[in-house]
Homo-oligomer: A and B are copies of this chain.
Amino acid sequence: VKDVPRNTTLKTVAEEAGVSISVVSKVLHGRGKNVRVGEETARHVRETAARLRYVPNGLARSLRMSRTNTVGLIFENFGQISAGPLFYVYLLDGVAQELFSRHFRLTILSEVDHERPLSSIEDGRLDGVIWCKLPGSEPSLDQLKQSSIPIVALNAPDHRVSLELVHVFCDNDGGAKLVVDHLVDLGHRRILFALERHEELTPDAQARLGGFLRAMQNVGLEVQADDVVVWSRDANEFNAWSAQTTDHTAIFAWNEGLGAAILDRAREQQIAVPSELSVVGFDSTRFCESTVPRLTAANQPIREMAAMAAQILLDQIEGKSPSIQDIRFACTLDVRDSTGPAFNRTQKTQR
């Protein structure tokens, strides 16, 4: 007993115009060569449709055509996007830019069933998916390869999985090398690499750690066990760490957020950056301009990377896939105010 005035459908228009449903369909959305419809009829149909404020039902159409013109962005913990660093905002922007310019809609998925990832993806509502931070340790990754819609991963490829899934990522190795070389040039010899709890196993974090290790080796510096730590997001562990005697003169944080947190903690402890301690981050969005002091960081062109991921995905969806496999973007180094000459150890112990 619902007297909700049913939306006007093709049928309504057809009846009102005194023609068949299929004619209306052809007139309104007809493509191809079999749209032979009388000039007169067509006008009349269009008129009635407009008068009735006819809006085609996208669900029905998509169901029929198996095409939704919607791309999903898998973005777990999206709810935090405004809190920390700007990295994910840039990423979102890049994806959106490309999608919208090609008239696709963007749906954000903030949760996936990691046991059965396809259940969130293959339900027909998406034409393709961009996955940020695709976990490399996923036990269910094989399933993804069998997805019926294309998937593009926007993070470093994990050697455990990699192939068969397109990855767009940055040269973490190169970026880490830029950082290490920069610090070494400044006279630093003992550098702490800081990972972030809950993120320490993500492919990019691991890749940066690997890059750090290789870069250190490359310049002939030995890395010891206590040169790598896993701290919480707000770097609370910094206090205890800085209290103990250590000859580290610089910290390389895995991303800009952690780098900024370290700057905050250092300030609280009245440790001057960069004169007493140098700090470097990774990503280098505008966020690094707002820290005190401004954070030196390796830059990955995430906006362009995200746009590229979207572009590859759309091309695949539209069938004109140039069979791109993986794409690696180069990193650069943005030197700001948080790095300086290595602090002389003798002075430091005086503190």
Which residues of chain A have a CB within 8 Å of any CB of chain B? Answer: 4, 7, 53, 55-60, 62-63, 68, 70, 78-83, 86, 89-90, 92-93, 96-97, 100-101, 103, 105-111, 116, 118-119, 122-125, 143, 148, 285-287, 289-290, 303
Contacts and interface: CB of A to CB of B under 8 A. Distances in A.
Contact of A93 (B4, B81, B109): B81
A82 B89 contact: yes
A100 B106 contact: no
Contacts of A109: 105
Contacts of A60: 63, 124
Nearest to A107: B107
One complex includes copies of this chain to the number of 2
A100 B70 CA distance: 18
Given A59-B59, A82-B93, A100 B111 contact: yes
B89 A125 contact: no
Nearest to A289: B290
Given A55-B123, A111-B100, A82 B78 contact: no
19 contacts: A7-B122, A7-B124, A53-B118, A55-B118, A55-B123, A57-B124, A59-B59, A59-B63, A63-B63, A78-B100, A79-B93, A79-B97, A79-B100, A80-B93, A81-B92, A81-B96, A82-B303, A83-B93, A106-B107
B123 A70 contact: no
Given A59-B62, A90-B82, A290-B286, A96 B108 contact: yes
Contact of A58 (B7, B96, B124, B287): B124
A82 B285 CA distance: 10
- Among all A-B residue pairs, the 6 with the closest Cβ atoms: A290-B290, A82-B93, A58-B123, A57-B124, A79-B97, A59-B63
Given A7-B124, A82-B93, 8 more contacts: A53-B116, A53-B118, A56-B123, A60-B124, A62-B125, A81-B96, A82-B92, A82-B303
Contacts of A53: 116, 118, 143
Contacts of A122: 7, 55
Contact of A57 (B92, B108, B123, B143): B123
A81 B70 contact: no
Nearest to A56: B123
A59 B125 contact: yes
Contact of A78 (B4, B96, B118): B96
A100 B74 CA distance: 13
Central interface residue in A92, A97, A100, by most chain B CB within 10 Å:
A100
Nearest to A302: B82
A289 B68 CA distance: 41
A68 B60 CA distance: 12
Contacts of A101: 79
A119 B55 contact: yes
A242 to B, nearest CB: 25
Nearest to A105: B107
Contacts of A59: 59, 62-63, 68, 123-125
A171 to B, nearest CB: 22
